[in-house]
Structure 1
Amino acid sequence: MRRIFKTLVSTVLVCALGSPLAFASSESPKLFEKIDNKSFVFKEEKTVKFEVLYFFNLNCLSCKNFEPYLKDWKSDLPSDVSFHSVPYSPSGSWQWANLAFFAAKLIDPSMTQETLSLAAKKYNKAIVNIDSASLFLTTTFHIKSGIIPPEIYSKNVIDLNEYGSEIGSKFGVIGTPSIVLIPRNGATYRISPEFVKTYKGILNITDALIAFNSKRTNE
C-alpha cells in the first residue's frame, strides 16, 4: 500500500516540479523549501544517493508524536538512503536537552535517539537548565541524585551541540521536527510542519522527493 501511495504522490510531485508555473500561483501549496545544492553532512558510502537528516529535540512534544511514524518509515527505506538524527534547539533553553542527549551518548554509546526520546517521554519534564538536565541523566542511568554528571560539561558534548546548531542553521531549520533531504546530485529540500501539517504528510513528501530525484538521475 505504501508503495502504491508513494508512486501516486511522486507522480503528482513530478508533474508539479516539472512545470515552472506549477508553484507560481499563490493558491498552490508550498510543500517544502528548496535549498541550493548542499553536500552530504556525514561521510557516506559511495552507494548512498540520498542523505536524510532528522532534526529533533528531547523537549519537543511534536517530535515524540512524530517518531512512531518515523520509525516505521525508516524500516522501509531503500539501501541508497542514509538516515541521521540531529539534536537541534529552536530556543535557547532547549540547548540543555541537546547537551543532555550528547552526555547520555557519552555515558552509554549504545543509547539510540529512539531510546533517549522514550526516556525523555518517561521523564516527562522539560530539560531547560543544568538541574533538569542532570536530573534527566541521573534518572535515566540510575545515578545517585544530586550529582551533576561531568559528561554534560565535557568539551566533546559542547562541541557536538554547537555542530548540531551549525548544521540546522546551514539548512534554515526553524523548529522541530524537521526533515532535510540531500540528494548526492541535485537540490536540497527541507520538509517540516510549517509546510505540511501532518506527520504522515512530511514523510510522504520526503518519499516523493526521493522518487522524483531518483527518476531524474536515471533518465
Structure 2
Amino acid sequence: MKKLFSALILSLLIPLTAFAAEYSDGNGYITLKNPVRTSTPDKIEVTEIFWYGCPHCFKLEPLTQAWKKNLPTDVKFNYMPAVFGRNWLAHAKAFHVADLLGIEDKMHSDIFNAIHLEHHRLNSEDDLAEFFVNYGVSEDEFRKQYNSFAVNSRLSQADAKIRAYGARGVPGLVVNGKYLVTAETAKGNNNIYNVVDFLIEKERTK
C-alpha cells in the first residue's frame, strides 16, 4: 500500500516538475544582466514595450486585454511605448498624452484599431489632434499636452528604461525589471503570457 501511495505522489509531482522546467533563461525568456529598478517595489511589475504601428503588437493586444482582466492584486501592469524610429515618436507622444489626461484605457485599443483596421496613419500632430477630439479633448488641450515638458520627460525616462532592458524590438514584456519576454523567446505571441505567468510565480516564490 505504501508503494502504491508513493507511486501516486510521484505521478502527481512529475507534471509539476516538468512545468517548472518548461522555461529557463534563454528558453522562454532572457534574464537581464543588470536588473532595472521598478516603479512599484511592493508589487510584481509587468511592462509591455510596444508601438501602435507594429502589426505584432496589434495582434498581441487582445491577448493583453484578456490577461489584464484577471490581473492578480500583487501584479502591476504598465504599457511603455518605444521610439525605435522617427515615425514612432508621434505614437509614443499620443500614448503619454492620453495617459496624462486619464483616458488611456479608453483610447489604447482604439488607436490600434484605427491604424490597423481603419488604415488611419495617425503619425502627425494634426492627425492625432483630430483623433483626440472624439474623446472630448479639445485641439488646444491636446497640442498643449503633446508639446509639454511632462510628455518629453516621460519619453526620456521610457527611452532610458528600454535601453536598460536591452530591448531591440516590439512587442516585449519585462517582468519585474529582471526578465525580457518576446515572441521570439516565447516561440510565438500566443505563448508570451504563459511565460509571463511563469515568471510572476517565480518572483512570488523568492
Task: Bin the TM-score by the shorter chain.
Answer: 0.7 to 0.9
Query: Which residue of 45, 49, 52 corresponds with 1:51?
Result: 45
Give the superposition deviation at 1:213.
3.7
Scaled by the length of structure 2, what TM-score is found?
0.76
Provide closer, same or farther for how the CA distance between residues 190 and 118 of structure 1 changes in structure 2, counting only shifts above 3 A.
same
Aligned residue number for residue 191 of structure 2? 201
Structure ID, larger Rg:
2
Provide closer, same or farther for how the CA distance between residues 105 and 82 of structure 1 changes in structure 2, counting only shifts above 3 A.
closer
One-letter code aligned to 2:49: F
Structure 2 counterpart SS, 1:157: helix
Give the superposition deviation at 1:128.
2.8
Give the superposition deviation at 1:36.
2.5
Q: Distance in 2 between matches of 1:9 and 1:141?
A: 52
Aligned residue number for residue 133 of structure 1? 128
One-letter code aligned to 1:32: Y
Provide closer, same or farther for how the CA distance between residues 11 and 201 of structure 1 changes in structure 2, counting only shifts above 3 A.
farther
Describe the superposition over 1:163-214 as per-residue Cα deviations: whole angstroms up to 9, x where unpaired.
111111110122222100117xxxx110012222422300001111222343
Structure 2 spans left out of the alignment, 5+ residues? 1-12
How many percent of aligned residue pairs carry the same amino acid? 20
Aligned residue number for residue 156 of structure 2? 162
Give the superposition deviation at 1:134.
3.1
Scaled by the length of structure 1, what TM-score is found?
0.72
Moved over 6 A (4+): 7-10
More helix by share: 2
Q: Distance in 2 between matches of 1:63 and 1:198?
A: 12
Q: Distance in 2 between matches of 1:97 and 1:115?
A: 16
Aligned residue number for residue 12 of structure 1? 18
Provide closer, same or farther for how the CA distance between residues 10 and 189 of structure 1 changes in structure 2, counting only shifts above 3 A.
farther
Q: Aligned pair 1:171/2:165, yes or no?
A: yes
Q: Aligned pair 1:34/2:47, yes or no?
A: no
* Alpha-carbon RMSD: 3.1
Structure 1 counterpart SS, 2:76: strand
One-letter code aligned to 1:200: N
Q: Distance in 2 between matches of 1:199 and 1:8?
A: 27
Give the superposition deviation at 1:84.
1.5
Number of matched residues?
190
Quick check: 2:47–2:80 contact (8 Å CA) kept in 1?
A: yes
Quick check: 2:23–2:195 contact (8 Å CA) kept in 1?
A: no
